Amino acid sequence: MIDHVTSIPSVLIPVKELIKVCREEGVNKVFVDGAHGIGCVDVDMKEMAADFYTSTLNKWFFCPPVAAILYFRKSSEVYDLHHPVVSHEYGNGFPIESAWIGTRDYSAQLVVPQALEFVNRFEGGIEGIKKRNHKAVGEMG
């Protein structure tokens, strides 16, 4: 597992380069913890070439804390990946197995479209926010 952006002291880790080194050293699965990544820095899953990437949407997209994403690269091994709590959907693939795991509050996931709409109201959307944040950090430094 590799952090994408550390919490403290907010260091951007060169994940693309580290993943390349991992592959050269025979590591066949790389998981990137991008909790601070999405909305803070540009994230290109294909270019990064991580097998798994997760990020929260509460940091930069103003969603409830449990709203998150999990990306995994397509491969034949992905079909052996299962949600830890599965009911009648077992064997139908990770996304379907994860979609309904019983009684729980889905409101955090349901607000994501409205949160993205809200972010896009700012000048430049998320790109504008990132640019203004970067400029402000430079001025504070």
pLDDT digits (tens, 9 = 90+) for 109-137: 899 999 999 999 999 999 999 999 989 98
Pick 74 or 3 by higher pLDDT: 3
Residues whose CB is less than 8 angstroms from the CB of residue 11 and which lie 6 or more positions away in sequence, other chains included: 5
pLDDT at 66: 86
pLDDT at 25: 97
Residues of the chain with pLDDT > 90, as a percent, come to 52
Predicted TM-score of the model (pTM): 0.82
Pick the closest to residue 19 from 45, 43, 49, 54 (CA basis).
49
Mean pLDDT check: name the lowest of 31-35, 38-42, 96-100, 133-137. Answer: 96-100
Model confidence band, residue 99 (pLDDT cutoffs 50, 70, 90): confident
Residue 56's φ and ψ, nearest 5 degrees, are: -100, 150
- Give the helix ranges, DSSP H, for 1-141: 15-24, 45-48, 94-99, 107-110, 112-119, 125-140
If residue 52 lies in a helix (H) or strand (E), which one and from where to where?
strand 52-56
Our CA angle for 66, 68, 73, nearest 5°, is 150
- When pLDDT is averaged across residues 105-110 and rounded to a whole number, the result is 87
Look at residue 3 and tell me whether its pLDDT is greater than 90: yes
Say if CB 52 and CB 22 are below 8 A apart.
no
